[in-house]
Amino acid sequence: MTRAQQTISIALLLSSLYLTCFLGFVPFSPKIQDEIIPVLPFWGLISFGSYLLFKLGYGVFTFNDVPEAHKELMAEIELARVDLKAKGVDVGND
Amino acid sequence: QLDRLVGLTMLIAATTIFLYYTIWTLFMPFVDQPHFSHAFFPPRVWAIRIPVILIILFSTVIGSFLSVVMIRSNRRKALKAKK
């Protein structure tokens, strides 16, 4: 089972569960049915977005600079550029 | 040091947005109307309108960026094929 298949099947499962609740096939108290259930997808989206932002911010916050790795990386990029250009690949212009 | 500040800002923004939106959508319906905390939140229709507007805005930006890049690359390819 590929990752795409896994993701799609989980997404389908959650959507069908949500749809049964949304269309009224599961009895809820009227307050929950009218006010909470329509908002759930948006809440999920916003929570997912803020979770991603949190992860990003945490990574940026705890990342320490590595100047030697930077120099090494730049040198490797130059080498690769020269090499590929000699072989005829379009390496763009910087 | 600036990037640490950016990271911290993102962290605080993410937490604030999550907490505010969760309280707004999941807790406020159960709080009776005269309670003072309702003053902190706009009417609940906006809890749906704001994400929808953001989604439309976001997809517009991404869509236009994608189309500009694709048109540019096609133009370059056509130019090269003509040579």
Please name the residue that has the structure tokens 């600079």: A65
A 23-62 residues with CB below 8 A of B? 31, 35-36, 38-39, 42-43, 45-47, 49-51, 53-54, 56-62
Please name the residue of chain B whose CA is at the shortest distance from the CA of residue A30: B29
ipTM over 0.85: no
When pLDDT is averaged across residues A28-44 and rounded to a whole number, the result is 83
Q: Are A43 and B26 in contact (CB under 8 A)?
A: yes
> Does A66 lie at the interface with B, CB-CB under 8 angstroms?
no
Picking from B76, B82, B75, the residue whose alpha carbon sits closest to that of residue A93 is B76
Q: Please state, in angstroms and rounded to a whole number, the distance separating the CA atoms of residues B8 and B37.
A: 28
When pLDDT is averaged across residues B23-28 and rounded to a whole number, the result is 85
Across A18-22, A37-41, A46-50, B45-49, least confident range? B45-49
Given a cut of 80, whether residue A33 has pLDDT beyond it is no
**Domains in chain A: boundaries:** 3-87
Picking from A72, A66, A52, A94, the residue whose alpha carbon sits closest to that of residue B3 is A66
